[in-house]
Structure 1
Amino acid sequence: MRVLVLGGAGEIGRAAARLLAAAPEVEQLVIADLSEAAATAVAAELGSVAVARQIDVADQERLVALARESDVVVNTVGPYFRFGPGILSAVIEAGRNYIDVCDDPAPTATMLEMHDRAVAAGVTAVLGMGASPGVANLLARQAVSGLDQVESVVTGWNLLMAQPQERSWRPSAAIVHGIEQVSTPIPVIRGGAQVREKPLRETTIDYPGIGPGIGWTFGHPEPVTLARTYPQIVECVNVAVAPRYVIAPLAALGSSVRIGLLSRERAATVAAVVENVLPSSPLAALDNSALPPLFALATGTLGGDRAAIGCALGQFPGLTMAEATGIPLAVGTLLNPDRPGVHPPEAVFEPAVFFQRLAPYCLGNPRPESMVVVTNSQWSAAVNAAALDSGSLVTALLRSRIRPA
């Protein structure tokens, strides 16, 4: 397999490339980046399997030509509301498979509309195969599969787990994405229809085996794609889990952009400063969290009774955003699904297969059966407690506030 990693010198691109470079099925790995020097440095680190290429992804002709040299294109160039649709269009023109970590709902919807083009070209494109979206979607699929009938789905992720590997006073693509999502109406499913509402709406989540916790609605693709995969869903939101002292400045920045007090660029610069004063330890960052770091909760009916099933990630590929996103991306790339069209992760990956393949790249080399912690509102408190206790050491540390020595 010949793999092209766009944005391969960035944090997420490097995390994915390291795993791909070590995979026996990868015969060539092209590290492509706007900075030729950065791409060359990453390729040198990865050994003879890797080569460097300079690319401006806005150069459509050059991008098509470069894509044709590989079998699959891995796109980590963000923010996706600027670059996602154009890159996918070029890859479809090149006739090559595609996978990304798109975390913006608007370009996700736009790229899903390219489905027929991809089918005609024989191209399989997978959107949003990171942590959230990505792992969260597969947790949702597993939760939904435990119900006879699903009515609502909530996906959630801890905002303070999205730690950069290197702190910077300059806004990253992730921060630019975040400002976009807190300053514009976000898509959610209410009453069986997709609507747009103000972001950061406080949401109480009654999680089986844990109890109530607070999340804040955030603009991610999960409500767009899960409603497409499961059209019977009546309610669907994605939430960020974070303390109020984190949400408050985000809400203020979003409001400032909406009323024209700040430009999006200026708000992103301010957010980069705020990020630098937040807790730098992912463990310390979860002190005020009552919910798992990454989860999906599906409610509906089971055996004729009301039921809620929670699926939480029990093992983690790392404690930075780059690892949590780039490693699942690489695993999805190696699974290499053959299903022409444009799809979200839950439509092409079986959760059991994906989590089995992810397990060797998680902290402590865990058993595959410990990857997902499942709890059910119909189970007794003792059974739910046992399920939670069977989770990972990392989850135990995060949930119990224990600090490693």
Structure 2
Amino acid sequence: MQVLILGGSGRIGSNVAADLLAHTSADIVIAGRNPSGGEKLSQQLGERVKFAIVELSDPLSHSLNHGGVDRDRLEAAISSADLVIHCAGPFLYRDTSVLEICIARGVNYIDVSDHPSFTRKALAHRAAAEAAGVTAVVNTGIFPGISNSMVRRDVEQLDKPEKIHLSYVVAGSGGAGVTVMRTTFLGLQRPFQAWLEGQWQTVKPYSDREVVEFPTYGKVGVYWFDMPEAFTLPATFPVESVVTKFGTVPQFYNHLTWSVARWWHPKLLQARATIEFLSRVSHFMTDVSDRFSGVGVAIRSEVTGQKNGQTVRCCSTLVESDTAVAAGAGTGTVAALILSEKLKKPGVWAVEQALPTDMFEGVMRDRGIEIQQHLSPM
């Protein structure tokens, strides 16, 4: 089996490759725009990994380059693969061309997308993928990704789930590159819709601070954040409310991000030059603070509802020491299941819609990822 990882020489893509090398026998092509960096990485990863120049558009352009050699190289690379893993963000600026080519060529597809606009565009191709017999899973990784499957596992413990509260905390940079920083600031650009009390309501990003206690990190302030889970979870599970909140440590980064969201003019935040400036400065700062804070991640999933006639809470937590490695594992698990044909679900799906809980628990055990789950009466 051959796997093509677009954006494979980046922090997330390289960790996906490492996970596949450890848990599958697939040959891997990491594709990107930087020949020297890509070749060096492929040599470090070993003989099962090759590098190929497959140039998507610049991360700050609107869409895939549809003309010339780049399109031809992309189609040729996809046609030679059994599975394509799209790790080339930020996904706000991506269209679904890669997914469309995969559907046309009958190649299975997964991605690490984390922006709601891209997720909506990808899910719109469900019927085409189903007709082509292509299994496509979006939002794999750590959050969204493993977090979504944690929610599904909690929901299944209840007779009638009513509310989902999903929160994350990341230490410093999380071990990721500047692309992830862009994603954070892109999420501040405009208000978004959240499913609350059985209806869609508008909330402001990085608002409504709430203190949540996480393992390892203790009490951390978390804020509303525009994530794909905000609409894929209510589309998947019959609940009345879904809350998605995010925070960072050291916590002064929360205050900085809050001040940007609250005081900067929306048009300024929608300028690409502003996003790039904020991302570069933040990445420089976290390069320093990572030495003290680490680069880990904690997730807390809380689902409340009815079980045996009582109101109960099912709470799951996860802590990993390297966010980028955990994201690689989240994507690698889905890839391994598709390659082995254990996961075969034609169509385009958010990960919580595609991955059964028994499979999720098995691949987490295989990777030594521990998820604590506790059920208690309210």
Tell me, yes or no, whether TM beats 0.5.
yes
Q: Provide the rounded CA distance (Å) in 1 between the counterparts of 2:325 and 2:114.
A: 16
1:241-266 CA-to-partner distances (Å, cap 9, x unmatched) read 33652222112323425053783422
1:135-157 CA-to-partner distances (Å, cap 9, x unmatched) read 11011001111111111111111
Match of residue 6 from structure 1: 6
- 2:88 aligns to what SS in structure 1? coil
**Over aligned residues, Cα RMSD in angstroms?**
2.7
Q: Provide the rounded CA distance (Å) in 2 between the counterparts of 1:266 and 1:207.
A: 33
Residue 180 (structure 2) pairs with residue 174 (structure 1): yes
1:307-353 CA-to-partner distances (Å, cap 9, x unmatched) read 11111125x3xx33321211211111001121100011111212342
Q: 1:281/1:356 Cα in 2 relative to 1: closer, same or farther (>3 Å)?
A: farther
- 1:77 aligns to what SS in structure 2? coil
What letter corresponds to residue 46 of structure 1 in structure 2?
Answer: L
What letter corresponds to residue 14 of structure 1 in structure 2?
Answer: S
Q: Provide the rounded CA distance (Å) in 2 between the counterparts of 1:64 and 1:196.
A: 40
1:285-318 CA-to-partner distances (Å, cap 9, x unmatched) read 89xxxxx91121111111212111111125x3xx
Match of residue 257 from structure 2: 250
Q: 1:284/1:331 Cα in 2 relative to 1: closer, same or farther (>3 Å)?
A: closer
What letter corresponds to residue 256 of structure 1 in structure 2?
Answer: W
Q: Provide the rounded CA distance (Å) in 1 between the counterparts of 2:52 and 2:294.
A: 39
- Report matched runs for 1:238-387 at 5 Å: 238-242=244-248, 245-254=252-261, 255-260=263-268, 263-278=271-286, 279-281=289-291, 293-313=298-318, 316=320, 319-336=321-338, 337-362=343-368, 371-378=370-377
- 1:182 aligns to what SS in structure 2? coil
- Report matched runs for 1:81-100 at 5 Å: 81-83=92-94, 85-100=96-111
Native 8 Å contact 1:68 1:94 kept in 2: yes
Q: 1:84/1:354 Cα in 2 relative to 1: closer, same or farther (>3 Å)?
A: farther
Q: Provide the rounded CA distance (Å) in 2 between the counterparts of 1:25 and 1:259.
A: 48
Greater shift after overlay, 189-198 or 125-134?
189-198
Match of residue 40 from structure 1: 39
Q: Provide the rounded CA distance (Å) in 2 between the counterparts of 1:328 and 1:307.
A: 28
- 2:373 aligns to what SS in structure 1? strand
Q: Provide the rounded CA distance (Å) in 2 between the counterparts of 1:300 and 1:372.
A: 20
Q: Provide the rounded CA distance (Å) in 2 between the counterparts of 1:83 and 1:261.
A: 19
- 1:64 aligns to what SS in structure 2? helix
State the 1:81 CA deviation. 1.2
1:94-151 CA-to-partner distances (Å, cap 9, x unmatched) read 2211111111111111111110111111111101111100011011001111111111
- 2:167 aligns to what SS in structure 1? strand
TM-score (norm 1): 0.80
Q: Provide the rounded CA distance (Å) in 2 between the counterparts of 1:329 and 1:284.
A: 22
Q: Provide the rounded CA distance (Å) in 2 between the counterparts of 1:196 and 1:113.
A: 23
Q: Which runs of 5+ in 1 are unaligned?
A: 167-171, 287-291, 380-405
- Structure with the higher fraction of residues in strand conformation: 2
Q: 1:282/1:18 Cα in 2 relative to 1: closer, same or farther (>3 Å)?
A: farther
- 1:342 aligns to what SS in structure 2? strand
Native 8 Å contact 2:170 2:323 kept in 1: no
- 1:157 aligns to what SS in structure 2? strand
Q: Provide the rounded CA distance (Å) in 2 between the counterparts of 1:161 and 1:345.
A: 26
Native 8 Å contact 2:214 2:298 kept in 1: no
Native 8 Å contact 2:171 2:294 kept in 1: no
Q: Provide the rounded CA distance (Å) in 1 between the counterparts of 2:101 and 2:8.
A: 18
Native 8 Å contact 2:212 2:222 kept in 1: no
Identical pairs, percent: 23
1:157-201 CA-to-partner distances (Å, cap 9, x unmatched) read 1032652267xxxxx211111111012223321232334421112
- 1:202 aligns to what SS in structure 2? coil
Q: 1:161/1:361 Cα in 2 relative to 1: closer, same or farther (>3 Å)?
A: farther
Q: Provide the rounded CA distance (Å) in 1 between the counterparts of 2:212 and 2:374.
A: 12
What letter corresponds to residue 278 of structure 2 in structure 1?
Answer: V
Greater shift after overlay, 251-260 or 48-57?
251-260
- Report matched runs for 1:106-255 at 5 Å: 106-160=117-171, 162-164=173-175, 172-204=178-210, 214-230=221-237, 232-242=238-248, 245-254=252-261, 255=263
Native 8 Å contact 1:12 1:321 kept in 2: no
Q: 1:284/1:174 Cα in 2 relative to 1: closer, same or farther (>3 Å)?
A: closer
- 1:183 aligns to what SS in structure 2? coil
